[in-house]
């Protein structure tokens, strides 16, 4: 009989670690801000009195705080510890999400999404950094893969619920945002502060938040680190393009439904979850990491092109599968690279660079693609302009992703020396 531990290989024993289990539980909250909203975006057009070009701003409002606040959150965790920020993030995320149930104003909903994004900006860097505290090497890759797996499982579960709840009432899906509140209580009661963070890190005790922030320009001078951070940006850009526009292509392009859009987002998330669980094996199997990074970059960008050109639900499913495969593995592998580069005292802030890039990709994708979409719409009909926009950015993602792969992993990853600071 195949068990999950066997599926994970030699590092499967980490599943019995309670700290890992609790961090994975908290991690399942963040994707509720993206994949749960994706299948219902088209259904929100009329109640919120907005347009297809503007509806993508609901994604931008959520991701913007991740881009703006992740370095601050990462620095705070390096100085004050992981647990307090995680609890605060969970409560902000859940309460602001619940308030969206009662909003019929697009601007108010945007504001609540931004506030929810602040909560998310506290959750994600803390979880990723805490896993970096607990594990190294292939165990770290496995832990980050499991983090992405829990992300994907959450992303597979909640879109199905939201896709069908919206058939009852347009605002019912927002009731699901009550889930993070009891999770915050569980974290408060049972999670121990990771032993390598503030409670134990002697070197961190000597580093102030101001010192950490002052090092940001210097850290960005490392080409391989910068390439890994930009890799997070590109991967996030493609992911957000899919969750923002796939439901519009399904409903407006192939006459599908919000329920079908929710199922396909779940397919994407499930594929991502399964793929991410194998990150540790992929990281340890390849002696030259350039191969998986470049191949996966081609797969995820190609998946967006398939989605753009789809003429049926089956074609959309193929695209969702490709994006899920690339997303699940690439995000975990890019994060592991950043962790491998990071001196322990700067781990929180360096990981936050990656999360900032992720937030930037997710924030800018609807804006940049929305502008291109509007320009193309002046020359072509709506659905053709939408398809062309997605295909164009899928092609760009392939080229840029492969180029960044060559810069980041042309050599074996090694930690940045503390003497360089």
- Structure pTM? 0.68
What size, in residues, is the chain? 421
Annotated domain spans of the chain? 16-420
What is the sign of the dihedral through the CA atoms of 159, 161, 162 and 166? positive
Query: How does DSSP assign 144-173, residue by residue?
Result: HHHHHHHHHHHHHHHHHHHHHHTTT-TTGG
Residues 373, 251: Cα–Cα separation, whole Å: 17
161 contacts: CB under 8 Å, gap ≥ 6: 36, 173, 176
CATH of 16-420, one of 3.40.50.2000, 3.40.1350.10, 3.10.20.90, 1.20.1250.20: 1.20.1250.20
pLDDT truncated to tens, each residue of the chain (421 aa)? 445 555 555 566 777 788 899 999 999 998 899 878 877 887 898 999 988 778 888 988 998 887 778 777 766 776 777 888 999 999 999 999 999 999 999 999 999 999 999 999 889 888 888 887 887 766 777 887 788 788 778 877 888 888 889 889 999 999 999 999 999 999 999 998 766 544 444 444 445 556 666 666 676 677 788 888 899 999 999 988 888 888 888 888 888 887 788 788 888 888 888 888 787 778 777 767 778 889 999 999 999 999 999 988 999 999 999 999 998 888 888 888 887 776 666 676 777 778 788 878 887 888 888 899 889 989 888 889 989 999 999 999 999 999 998 887 766 555 555 555 4
């Amino acid at each position: 009989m195949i068990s999950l531990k066997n599926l994970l290989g030699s590092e499967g024993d980490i599943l019995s670690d309670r700290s890992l289990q609790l961090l994975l539980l908290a991690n399942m909250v963040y994707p509720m801000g993206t994949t749960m909203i994706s299948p219902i975006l088209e259904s929100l057009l009329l109640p919120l009195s907005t347009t297809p070009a503007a509806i993508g701003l609901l994604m931008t409002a959520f991701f913007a705080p991740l881009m703006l606040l992740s370095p601050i959150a990462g620095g705070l965790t390096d100085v004050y510890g992981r647990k307090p920020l995680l609890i605060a993030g969970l409560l902000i995320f859940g309460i602001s999400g619940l308030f969206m149930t009662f909003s019929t104003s697009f601007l108010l909903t945007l504001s609540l999404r931004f506030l929810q994004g602040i909560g998310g900006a506290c959750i994600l860097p803390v979880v990723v950094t805490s896993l970096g505290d607990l594990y190294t090497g292939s165990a770290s890759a496995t832990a980050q893969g499991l983090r992405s797996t829990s992300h994907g499982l959450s992303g597979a579960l909640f879109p199905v619920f939201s896709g069908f709840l919206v058939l009852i009432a347009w605002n019912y899906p927002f009731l699901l945002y009550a889930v993070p509140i009891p999770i915050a209580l569980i974290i408060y009661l049972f999670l121990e502060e990771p032993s390598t963070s503030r409670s134990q890190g002697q070197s961190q005790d000597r580093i102030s938040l101001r010192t950490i922030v002052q090092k940001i320009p210097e850290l960005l001078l490392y080409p391989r680190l910068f390439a890994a951070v930009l890799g997070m940006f590109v991967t996030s850009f493609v992911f957000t393009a899919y969750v923002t526009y796939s439901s519009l292509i399904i409903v407006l392009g192939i006459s599908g439904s919000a329920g079908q859009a929710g199922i396909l987002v779940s397919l994407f998330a499930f594929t991502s979850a399964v793929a991410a669980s194998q990150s540790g094996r992929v990281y340890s199997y390849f002696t030259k990491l350039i191969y998986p990074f470049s191949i996966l970059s081609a797969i995820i960008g190609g998946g967006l092109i398939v989605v753009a050109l789809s003429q049926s639900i089956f074609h959309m499913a193929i695209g969702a599968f490709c994006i899920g495969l690339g997303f699940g593995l690439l995000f975990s592998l890019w994060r592991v690279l950043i962790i491998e580069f990071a001196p322990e005292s700067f781990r929180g802030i360096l990981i936050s660079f990656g999360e900032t890039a992720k937030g930037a990709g997710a924030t800018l994708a609807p804006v940049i693609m929305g502008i291109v979409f509007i320009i193309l719409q002046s020359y072509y009909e709506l659905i053709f302009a939408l398809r062309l926009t997605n295909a164009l950015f899928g092609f760009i993602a392939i080229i840029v992703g492969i180029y960044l792969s060559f810069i980041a992993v042309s050599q074996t990853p090694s930690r940045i020396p503390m003497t360089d600071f």
